[in-house]
Amino acid sequence: MKEMSIDVPVEPPAEFKSLFIPIPPEYVEDAYKKDEFMILVGPQHGGSGHMRIIVRLKGDVIVDALPDPGYVHRGMEKLAENKLYIQNIPLLERPAIMDCANYNLGYVRAIEQMLDIEVPERAKYIRTILAELCRVGTHLYDAGILAIFLGHSTGFMWPFAMRELICEALMKVSGARVTASYIIPGGVRRDVSKSVLEYIREVTFFIEKKAKDFEKVFIKNPVTIARMKDVGVLTKKDAIRLGVVGPFLRATGVEYDVRAIEPYDAYDQLDWDVVTADDGDSYSRFLVRVEEISQSLRIIRQAINRLRTMPEGKVISEDLLGKIKDKEKASRDIKGNFYRIFGRLTLPAGEVTTLTEASRGTLLYTLVSDGESTSPYRLRIVTPGWLYLKGFMESLKGSRLADLQAIYGSFGYFPPEADR
């Protein structure tokens, strides 16, 4: 179709000057000279999280998208330098509270590697269960947000209702519905009783059953497919170049999962598959995570089966207990001895980096210790949200403005996670 241009001098809107927009004014002028215009999506918008996306549009098609994150930056890295090692555990699950176990796991493993201690077998399985529960919870959360971005309110309510059971399971295990703070250096806080394990097992079956209804109503809905198929395509090459991580990288056909490549905890002893897809569009990004839910449920069930045969007790490493008298009791439940063990914990000087497969992708912790302080000298956190932000912006190009929400939801972008 022949393109027609109308030569009307258009002034860039005043808000690009009056608001603080982190792009050069020449860029805005250039856009308005070229028969294009720019709109701001967020940070106060029904279809954006706590972030702003500066969208450059030609008609209805997105030419360029620039992120303006940082609205929920809390300075986790700096805060971590002023707290005891053990106090950082509740802090570091705040970037993504629904994904608390994975966020704890990375940090705690860094401490363990520095102390060079081995975690008891039972604790490893409990950690794995918790991490996978959080993964299911996060994927359900993201599916709900995606559904409401597409206007499907039933698809929003059902995953949240399913996630309620996971909150309940976390509560039974740790006492907290979302921020569990349950994983500690050397193991977990306390042992999990048999009845709780049975409850978690039942939850996995229930979620599997309900996920089938969800599939009928939302996933296989023709309108959903029409909205998401071939929308926001990110090619394999681009995804690797831009450093996309997690399910979004796997959706482009790259088989990369930290759990499989550098297994930690009990992942190498369990039978599960790395889920991949080939298309790299919004729909496959969504489907990969849906399939990951069933893989996670599979992992949880296997881990529970192993735990059933294991003797109860002993979930904290003996190396940490030191001078505590009743070691038998303390290794079953840390309660009462917590600050005696961890209050003055100092790590040997050095630097350790751990990679964890959090729900939304690879999570990196780098812990630097000076060898004499009770708090980290430096803690570097690179969250998956931050890593795939570039890929997210890349995939927006060439889509329509109405697709912005579909792509946003398909990435499950969570500003608090990316901003830390």
Partner 1 sequence: MFAELMEMFRGNAVEIPILQPIIDALMGIPLVNFVVSFLLWKPLFAILFAPGLAALMVAMLFIIWFERKVTARVQWRYGPLEISRSLGGLIQPLADGMRYLFQEVIVHREAHKPLFIQLPLLSFIPVLLPFLFIPAGTIYAIRTPYALPLIVALISLVPMLIVLIGWASNSKYAYLGSMREVFMYFGYEVALIVVVMAMVLMYGSADLIEIVEKQKSLPGILFNPIACIAFFMVTAMATSRFPFEIPEADQEVVFGPFIEYTGIMFGIVMTLGYEKLYLLSLLFSILFLGGWNGPTIAILGDLSPALWLFLKTVVLMMMFVFLRTVYPRFRLDQAIKFGWTTLLSLSVISLAVAAVIRLVGWL
121 phi, psi to nearest 5 deg: -55, -45
- Decide if residue 310 touches partner 1 (CB under 8 A): no
| 154 contacts partner 1 (rule: CB under 8 A) | yes
Residue 303 to residues 101, 122, 186, 384, Cα–Cα distance (Å) = 16, 10, 19, 26
142 binds partner 1 (CB under 8 A): no
Site for partner 1 in 34-73 (CB under 8 A): 39, 45-47, 60
Q: Is 52 or 190 the residue whose CB approaches partner 1 more closely?
A: 52
CB closer to partner 1 out of 82 and 153: 153
CA 100 to chain CA centroid, nearest Å? 9
Among 148, 203, 242, 307, binds partner 1 (CB under 8 A): 148
Q: Which stretch binds partner 1 (CB under 8 A): 216-224, 261-269, 294-302, 359-367?
A: 216-224
The reply to whether 223 sits near partner 1 by the rule CB under 8 A is yes
Task: Decide if residue 157 touches partner 1 (CB under 8 A).
Answer: yes
Region near partner 1 per CB under 8 A, out of 102-110, 323-331, 385-393, 398-406: 398-406
The whole-angstrom separation of Cα 355 and Cα 33 is: 46
Q: Nearer Cβ to partner 1, position 147 or 207? A: 147
| Part in contact with partner 1 (CB under 8 A); list of ranges 179-187, 297-305, 323-331, 402-410 | 402-410
Rounded CA separation 162/155 (Å): 11
- Give yes or no for residue 161 binding partner 1 (CB under 8 A): yes
Closest approach, Cβ 52 to partner 1, in A, equals 14
Query: How many positions of this chain bind partner 1 (CB under 8 A)?
Result: 31
CA angle 328, 331, 334 (to 5 degrees): 125
Q: What is the C-alpha to C-alpha distance for residues 195 and 39, in angstroms, rounded to an integer?
A: 54
What is the DSSP annotation of 148-189? HHTT-HHHHHHHHHHHHHHHHHHHHHHS-SS----EETTEES
Q: Is 217 in the site for partner 1 (CB under 8 A)?
A: yes
Q: Is 149 a binder of partner 1 (CB under 8 A)?
A: yes
400 closest CA partner among 65, 175, 2, 46: 65
| Residue from 22, 75, 151, 371 binding partner 1 (CB under 8 A) | 151
Site for partner 1 contains 17 (CB under 8 A): no
Residue ranges with strand state E in 33-80: 37-41, 52-58, 61-68
194 counts as binding partner 1 under rule CB under 8 A: no
Tally the residues of the chain: 420
Q: Which of 129, 147, 297, 389 lies at the binding interface for partner 1 (CB under 8 A)?
A: 147
Please give the span between the terminal C-alpha atoms of the chain, in angstroms, as a whole number. 46
Asked if 227 interacts with partner 1 (CB under 8 A), we say: yes
Instruction: Single out the segment in contact with partner 1 by CB under 8 A; choices: 85-93, 124-132, 175-183, 401-409.
Output: 401-409
CA distance 277 to 117: 38
Q: Residues near 176 by Cβ (< 8 Å), separated by ≥ 6?
A: 170, 182
158 sits near partner 1 (criterion: CB under 8 A): yes
303: helix, strand or coil: helix
Which residues contribute to the site for partner 1 (CB under 8 A)?
39, 45-47, 60, 147-158, 161, 217-218, 221, 223-224, 226-227, 400-405
